[in-house]
Copies of this chain bind each other. A is one copy, B any other.
Amino acid sequence: MAFEKMIKNAFEESENNCRFGDSIEEIREIQDYIRNAERIYVPNKNGIKFEVLNKVLAEYGLPQAEILQVNTNTADTSRIPALSKAYIALDQCECDLVIARGRLGIPGSGSLLVFIDNKGRILTAGMSPSHVIHQKSVEEAVREEAVEALEKIGLEKVI
C-alpha cells in the first residue's frame, strides 16, 4: 500500500471517528520506504554529524546517506528550522529521503532530527534538549536522535 492510500484511509477513519491510533501495517510501510530508499541526502556542512548518522543507519541495516553541501542558514528564520532544512534539501536534489537536523522551534527549544520522504512528508523524528541542558557531545546527541527516530518506527539493530 502506497503512502497516498494509507493517508487517505487514515483520514477516512478520523472523519468517521473510528481511528484508534497507528496500525502495524502503517509502521511497516514507513520501514519499507526507508529500507528501499536509493538516494538519501543529509543537508550538512558538518562531516562528523554525517558520519555518526551513517554509522547508525548501517547498524540498523539501512542504506547509506550522502551529504548535500547546501547553505541552510536561512532555515533559522522559519518556524521549524529542522524541517525547513529538510525542505531546502528536498527542493535542491533528486532524492527519496532527506534526513535533516536543526532547531525544533524558537531558540532554546532544542533540536529535531527529521526524516522526510520524496514529497516532504514526515516519516519519523528524534529530538534532544539544548546542549546546555543535556551536556552531551553533538555526536552523542545526533546518535541518540537517530536511534530514537528509527526505533520509534519499530526498526531494530542488525549489527
A residues with a Cβ closer than 8 A to B are 3, 6-7, 9-11, 14-15, 17, 19, 21-24, 26-30, 73, 76-77, 79-80, 103-110, 117, 120-125, 127-133, 148, 151-154
Contacts and interface: CB of A to CB of B under 8 A. Distances in A.
A32 B91 CA distance: 38
A80 B154 CA distance: 20
A79 B20 CA distance: 19
A121 B105 contact: yes
Contacts of A19: 76
Given A24-B132, A130-B21, A151-B129, A6 B122 contact: no
A106 B132 contact: no
Nearest to A16: B73
